[in-house]
Amino acid sequence: MTTTVATRTISHWLDNQEFAGTGERFAPVTNPATGQVTGQVALADTADAQRVIAAAKAAFPAWRDTSIAKRTQILFAFRELLNARKAELAEIITSEHGKMLSDALGEISRGQEVVEFACGIAHLLKGGMTENASTKVDVASIRQPLGPVGIIAPFNFPAMVPMWFFPIAIAAGNTVVLKPSEKVPTAAIWLAELWAEAGLPAGVFNVLQGDKTAVDELLTNKAIKSISFVGSTPIAEYVYATGTAHGKRVQALGGAKNHAIVLPDADLDLAADAMVNAGFGSAGERCMAISALVAVGDIADELVAKIKERTVGLVTGDGTRNADMGPLVTKAHRDRVKSYVDAGEAAGATVVVDGRGVRADGEADGFWLGPTLLDNVTTDMSVYTDEIFGPVLSVVRVDTYDEALDLINSNPYGNGTAIFTNDGGAARRFQNEVEVGMVGINVPIPVPTAYYSFGGWKNSLFGDTHAHGVEGVHFFTRGKVVTTRWQDPSQRGINLGFPQNN
C-alpha cells in the first residue's frame, strides 16, 4: 500500500528556469523507505521535448564561441557550490532512490571528480600545429564541440552518472539536454539550479523529464548530435540502434554480470569483506556490483562461512538512519529481485542468508529486501544468467582458475570483474586474459578515476567510446584539420597536377 504525503510537481528545466510543459501525463515519485508518494514528475509530450531541445540548440552558437577560460571559470564556480552544498543533494538522492546518505555523498564525490577533470580541459582541447609542412604551408589540428547533446541517465546514480558526461560536454562547448530517470527526477533540477547560480548561460544545461516519448525525441531529433546512455542492455541496444540510424554519435553503456574470482591463496578475510561490500552496497543497485562470486578449489566452504558471518549482522533500513543498506528503488523492482531468489531456491541453490523476510529499521511499507547469499549456484539458473540488480550474491564453485576464467569470458556481459589472490603471476595473467573492460586486482569495484575512462566490453557497451577521461573528451568533440598558405606573388600560376608536399 502506498500513500501520498505531498503533491509537489517536478517539472522540466530550460533557459535557466523551470518549465511546466503542456504534457498531461505524470508519474508518481516515491520514497522507497516509506512507500509514500511524495510528488509527481511531469512526463514530456513531444512538444515539450522539442521545446527543451530547441533551447539547447539556440544557446549553442554563443556557448561554442565562449572562451575556454570563461567556460572553465564557470565550471570552477559549479565545483565550489557543489562542494559547499552536496549534503542537500545527498538528501534528495536518498529520499527518491533509498540509498544510505553516506552512499549518496560518495556518489556525489565520484561525480565531482569528473567536474574537476573538466576544469582542466583546456589542455585536452588544444590541437597541434606544424609550421612549413610544405613550403610556406602550415597545418593545424583543432577540436570543436558537436552541438546540443543528449544524456539519458539511470535511476541508480541520479548525480554521478549524469556527471560522467555533462561536465566534459559543457567544458568542450556543447549544450546539454539531460533526461533523468522518472523514478529520481529531483536531483537533475537541483543540479540545473546550481549551474544557473554558477553563471552558466541560459539554455546550456537543460532537463527533460519523461519516459519513452522523451527518449525517442532525443534519439530522432536532428538538433541532438550525440547520445550518452546508461541502463539495461535491451534498452542500450535500442538507444544505439535508433540513435545511430538517425546520424548521432552514441555511447550506450548496458547491463552487467560482474564476477569476482577468489583463488585458494587469497586472504579470505579480505575477500569476504570485499564480497559483502561489493555485493550489497547500495542494495546491489550498481552496474559494477559483484553478483557472482567464483570460488576456486577447496576454499568455498570457509569463504561462504566468512561472508555469512559478515552478512547476518548487516542492518537494512531507512537511508537517513543508522543502517548499513537501504531499500530497493520501487516495490515492483523489489518484487522482481525477490522472484529471482525464489527461482534460485527452487532450482537447487542453497539459501545461506535469506533477505526475503528481513526486519528493516524503517516503515512497514518500505521496499525492503535484505542481503541475500546463495551458494551452489549453477550457470543455468536465472539467478546467475540474468542481471538482477539487487542485493543477491551468488556463489559458483569451480575447481580451477581456467574454469573460472572461461566462466567469465563466455558470459555475454563484460563490464567489470575482479580477482582476489596473493599471486602476482596469477593476477597478471588474469588481467591479460580476461575479456572484460574494467578489472580489479584485490579491488572488488574497479571504477576508474575520472582521468581514465569508464566502460565495458561485449553486451555491456554499444558504441566505441567509453565515458569520461580522454575518450569522453573525444566523444564530445570532433577533429578538424586546417591547412594554411598566405599568398605571395611567387606562388601564382596554374597547375592541374595532384598537390604534392615539398
Known catalytic residues?
Answer: 287
Q: β-strand 457-458 against 413-414: which pairing, if any? A: antiparallel
Q: Which of 350, 338, 315, 433 is nearest to 392 (CA)?
A: 338
Alpha helices in 98-198 (DSSP H): 101-119, 121-125, 160-171, 186-198
C-alpha cell at 386: 540474468
Q: Which three cell numbers stand for residue 114?
A: 569528473
Alpha carbon 267 to its chain's center: 31
Question: Amino acid identity, residue 242?
Answer: T
Cα–Cα distance for residue pair 480/482, rounded to 1 Å: 7
Spatial separation of the C-alpha atoms in residues 468 and 43, rounded to whole Å: 29
**C-beta separation of 457 from 435 below 8 A:** yes
Is there a contact between 415 and 436 (Cβ–Cβ < 8 Å)?
yes
The grid coordinates of residue 203 equal: 539554455
Sign of the Cα pseudo-torsion (11, 14, 16, 17, in order): negative
CB atoms within 10 A of CB 479: 10
Helix (H) or strand (E) holding 97: helix 68-97
Provide the sign of the torsion angle of the four alpha carbons 353, 356, 357, 359, taken in this order.
Answer: positive
Q: How many CB atoms lie within 10 A of CB 376?
A: 16
DSSP symbol at 325: B
